[in-house]
Amino acid sequence: MVKKNFWSTVSEFLVLLIIAYVLALGIRTFVAERRDVPTGSMEPTIHAGDSLFTVKAIYYFRQPQRGDIVVFNVPKRVNPNQAYPWVKRLIGLPGDTVEVRDGKTYVNGKMYNVPTARMPKYKFGPVKVKDGMYLVFGDNRNESYDSHYWGFLPQEEVFAKAVCVIWPIKHIKILN
């Protein structure tokens, strides 16, 4: 009788482990996951080494919005060897005209201010964002390898929204 209880308990435990693994894999694949930020391209909003909580499921229900901090696969034409997704702020939507001049960013002729973004020291555009594309900038505008260097980001490459910084403790915050 002891053997039966022991093996019954072990088999129940294994079934629970398998269920937990499948659920975790499903959540990570389709709903949400943690992402580490390797560079300072989003400083001062997000620092190199920060861990983010990102939500994938949100873009099943709505399109990305201007100002979202998005996680995306790097287009092969930008960096064919890049396997790790990048994090940038979505600035231009399809049909928008984006320009950077005099240290300010303009979208459709109106100044678009991100309070945490550093003032750009470059000129860009004006460019009209093509259908099926986005324009993304890092908040560390002068030190970010982003759309002002490599152009438009195909919409299908965006797969998650960064919602909050979860690590280190001194950087924990909700992202806007």
pLDDT digits (tens, 9 = 90+) for 44-72: 999 999 999 999 999 999 999 999 999 99
**How many angstroms from the chain centroid is the CA of residue 119?**
21
List 8, 11, 41, 121, catalytic entry: 41
Report which residue type is found at 108. Answer: N
Annotated catalytic residue 11? no
Specify whether 65 is located in the same domain as 150: yes
The predicted structure's pLDDT at residue 107: 98
Paired tokens of 108: 């459709």
Nearest to 135 by CA among 84, 83, 64, 85: 64
Specify whether 166 is located in the same domain as 123: yes
Paired tokens of 89: 């702020």
The predicted structure's pLDDT at residue 16: 82
Specify whether 9 is located in the same domain as 48: no
Per the structure, how many domains does the chain have? 2
Specify whether 19 is located in the same domain as 60: no
Domain that holds residue 12: 1-30
Specify whether 26 is located in the same domain as 48: no
The predicted structure's pLDDT at residue 3: 59
Specify whether 9 is located in the same domain as 74: no
Where helices occur in the chain by DSSP H, the ranges are 2-30, 58-61, 147-150
Query: Tokens 């195909």 map to which residue?
Result: 154
Specify whether 104 is located in the same domain as 161: yes
Specify whether 21 is located in the same domain as 36: no
Question: pTM of this prediction?
Answer: 0.88
List 88, 144, 147, 161, catalytic entry: 88
pLDDT digits (tens, 9 = 90+) for 83-142: 889 999 999 999 999 999 999 999 999 999 999 999 999 999 999 999 999 999 999 999
Specify whether 114 is located in the same domain as 155: yes
Annotated catalytic residue 41? yes
The predicted structure's pLDDT at residue 68: 98
Paired tokens of 159: 């797969």
pLDDT digits (tens, 9 = 90+) for 12-44: 888 888 887 787 777 777 778 999 999 999 999
In angstroms, the CA 76 to CA 78 distance is 5
Specify whether 12 is located in the same domain as 61: no
